[in-house]
Amino acid sequence: MVEPPKVDEPRVEDKLFQNRYLVDAGRPHVKIRAHIEPSPELLALIKICPARCYELNAKGQVEVAPDGCMECGTCRVIAEPTGDIEWGYPRGGYGVLFKFG
Ligand code: SF4
């Protein structure tokens, strides 16, 4: 049985909260190809993205809000080869700022 973490141990969520993100308004660095039904790759992004940038809308389509993206590249590896997303780094000065490792 896995022991729960001790109270004084830092949690991943606490570390992520210390990151800062400068939004490049109107210029998202991740875009999803328009679709009626999401591909398995797009659906996978909802669970895989550590920043939870992907979600289903009321029509059952996958949407992305890259504010808070950590630029880990996971979605890029999975969904860019299928053409489901377009991914690029934010412009210089924008995007994630890792303050504490
Ligand atoms: Fe999420 Fe990583 Fe893709 Fe950013 S690069 S949207 S954090 S999976």
Determine whether the shortest distance from the Cβ of 19 to ligand 1 is under 6 A: no
Q: For residues 79 and 39, what is the distance between their CA atoms, to the nearest angstrom?
A: 9
Residue with the nearest Cα to atom 1 of ligand 1? 49
Looking at the domain assignment, is residue 23 inside a domain?
A: no
Asked whether residue 101 carries a pLDDT value surpassing 70, the answer given is no
Q: For residues 13 and 69, what is the distance between their CA atoms, to the nearest angstrom?
A: 14
pTM of the shown model: 0.83
Q: How far is the CA of 20 from the centre of ligand 1 (A)?
A: 15
Looking at the domain assignment, is residue 8 inside a domain?
A: no
Determine whether the shortest distance from the Cβ of 88 to ligand 1 is under 6 A: no
Looking at the domain assignment, is residue 36 inside a domain?
A: yes
Atom number in ligand 1 closest to CA 45: 8
CATH at 61? 3.30.70
**Structural domain boundaries, residue 72:** 30-97
Tokens 């504490």 identify what position?
A: 100
Interval 50-70 mean pLDDT: 95
Query: Higher confidence at residue 53 or residue 2?
Result: 53
Looking at the domain assignment, is residue 15 inside a domain?
A: no
Q: What DSSP designation does 22 have?
A: E
End-to-end CA distance of the chain: 30
**Count of domains forming the chain:** 1
Question: Comparing C-alpha atoms, which of 36, 80, 82, 88 is closest to residue 62?
Answer: 36
